[in-house]
Chain A
């Protein structure tokens, strides 16, 4: 009887494990694969399956990273239940046979001032002078790839909350094979020096929210300018203003184009599409996801005898990308839209 119960429990345990593994794979595919690759090979996100990466991060670090994300650095926060996050972490671990490392939570003691000097000499070239990380949005996926991985932002509040001192120390000591991160022991530093660098990195917690973690705040989702002209004149004015602001007119079509039968579209809602290809290329190179709001467009609407121009507010939209590198571009684009619409209304 005992044998039967034991056997049943073993079968059930195996079944639960299989279920958890399948949940992890499903959750990973849904939430992570777009950036990190179907099998963790990386892309916009870190190559999670890289053995040297897995050898230097704990499960707790992965869990916290999924939960907290990286403010302003694309990786979003997650509202998934802890069990789901654990299932994703298990799935990530399934790509490597090596056991997950565990790290002490005891702070590393070192001389942060000395660490600052060492950091400037050894780390700043890749990780930025203030720990702001490599420029660009990870490895942009619709663009040529120059590097297998971007240098992470060490001063990012999400990173600092997820990584323990011991974990950072191990990465510094061992490096990450297959990435530009080298072993600093092999570079001639002593363990004491590495402790000093860790202390410096930890001291970055004390600085105010770094610029790269900023998210633009603005209220309006829509930019609107009233036109004193009739619909037709306003449309021509928008085209002219777009052109004088270095945008190429692409096409004009009713909002209901393709929806209503030809000839029955509402002529009082006209979209004017235009593009500055240089700006478009820069935006896509910074973050390929922005294509979602392309091409640039202004809709001219006539309602109750009044004509107005409307468009999305890129500053408002920048928030949904969680990418501080887009902030400047979105800010510029908002100004362009307003300039074009104001010029068209003169």
Chain B
């Protein structure tokens, strides 16, 4: 009976695993210090034709109010032409733009986290957008990989 129960639970979980995307966040650890990783991230973004539009200093905002936090920023980036065209045709995408990556320190390492652009395909099932999301996913994967491999 117990074995049957375990089998059923495993089968159910495996079913869920295949039904939902496995890991919907793209997250990497870099051995670089925070300032080095931040520089590597911005370089990786710009060398792929994107422009860094803004760096949100989450850490500074928090510490000004009196909370303790390690270095924590959010980097926004995009391509002017692409965003203008997409938002004109698909205004629902606007809240998810510009694209961003959260970057924060963990001791001597730095963590980068962002949602996989392919997740947006679930949110916005328009087939016309699929290629855009796939293209972003490819670029973003390259960007975070470059930061992870940077020494």
CA distance A77 to B5 in the complex (A): 20
Taking a contact as CB atoms under 8 Å apart, the answer to whether B69 and A301 are in contact is no
How far does the alpha carbon of A320 sit from the alpha carbon of B102 in the complex, in Å? 15
Q: How far is the CB of B2 from chain A (nearest CB, A)?
A: 4
Given that A160-B9, A161-B6, A202-B2 are known contacts, is A256 also in contact with B94, CB under 8 Å in the complex? no
Q: Are B114 and A77 in contact (CB under 8 A)?
A: no
CB pair B62–A281 under 8 Å, yes or no, is yes
Chain A residues with Cβ below 8 Å from B22 are: 76-80
Q: Which 9 A-B pairs have the closest CB atoms?
A: A258-B53, A221-B123, A77-B17, A259-B80, A320-B24, A291-B102, A79-B22, A141-B106, A76-B23
**Cβ B104 vs Cβ A288 within 8 A:** yes
Query: Quick one: closest B residue to A158, CB to CB?
Result: B13
Q: Contact check: which of B21, B29, B69 meets A142 at CB < 8 Å? A: B69
Question: Is B18 touching A259 in the complex (CB atoms < 8 A)?
Answer: no
In whole angstroms, how far apart are the Cα atoms of A237 and B29 in the complex?
A: 41
Report whether A35 and B17 are in contact in the complex, using a CB–CB cutoff of 8 Å. no
Q: Which residues of B contact A (CB under 8 A)?
A: 2-3, 5-6, 9-10, 12-14, 16-18, 20-25, 27-29, 31, 51-54, 56, 58, 61-62, 65, 67-70, 72, 74, 76, 78-80, 83-84, 87, 91-92, 94-98, 100-102, 104-106, 109, 111-115, 119-120, 122-124, 145, 148
> Do residues B29 and A291 form an inter-chain contact, with CB atoms below 8 A?
no
Contact across chains for B17 and A295 when beta carbons are under 8 A apart: no
Q: Are B16 and A71 neighbours in the complex by a CB distance under 8 Å?
A: yes
Interface centre among A31, A37, A68, A322 (most CB of B within 10 A): A68
Q: Which residue of A lies closest to B141 (CB)?
A: A30
The complex places the Cα of A29 from the Cα of B150 at a distance, in Å, of: 13
In the bound complex, residues from chain A placing their C-beta under 8 Å from that of B122 are: 221
Residues from chain B with a CB closer than 8 A to the CB of A206 are 5
Minimum CB distance partner of A289 in chain B = B113
Across the interface, A280 reaches (CB within 8 A) one of B58, B70, B76, B112, namely B58
Q: Are A257 and B53 in contact (CB-based, < 8 A)?
A: yes
A58 at the interface (CB under 8 A from B): no
Tell me whether A141 and B111 are in contact in the complex, defined as CB-CB below 8 angstroms, given that A37-B29, A269-B87, A275-B61 are known contacts.
Answer: yes
- CB–CB B58/A294 < 8 A: yes
Q: Taking each of A222, A259, A280, which has the highest tally of chain B beta carbons within 10 Å of its own beta carbon?
A: A259
B10 touches A64 (CB 8 A): yes
B78 touches A71 (CB 8 A): no
Residue of A whose beta carbon sits closest to that of B102: A291
Assess whether A83 is interfacial by the CB under 8 Å rule: no
- Given the interface pairs A142-B105, A258-B53, the reply to whether A161 lies near B13 with Cβ below 8 Å is yes
- The verdict on A299 contacting B102 (CB below 8 Å), with A143-B69, A221-B123, A320-B119 known, is no
Interchain CA distance A282-B60 in the complex, whole Å = 16
- Cβ contacts A to B, 17 pairs, < 8 Å: A30-B28, A33-B28, A34-B113, A64-B10, A105-B3, A157-B13, A158-B13, A160-B9, A161-B9, A161-B13, A257-B54, A258-B54, A284-B62, A288-B111, A289-B113, A291-B74, A320-B24
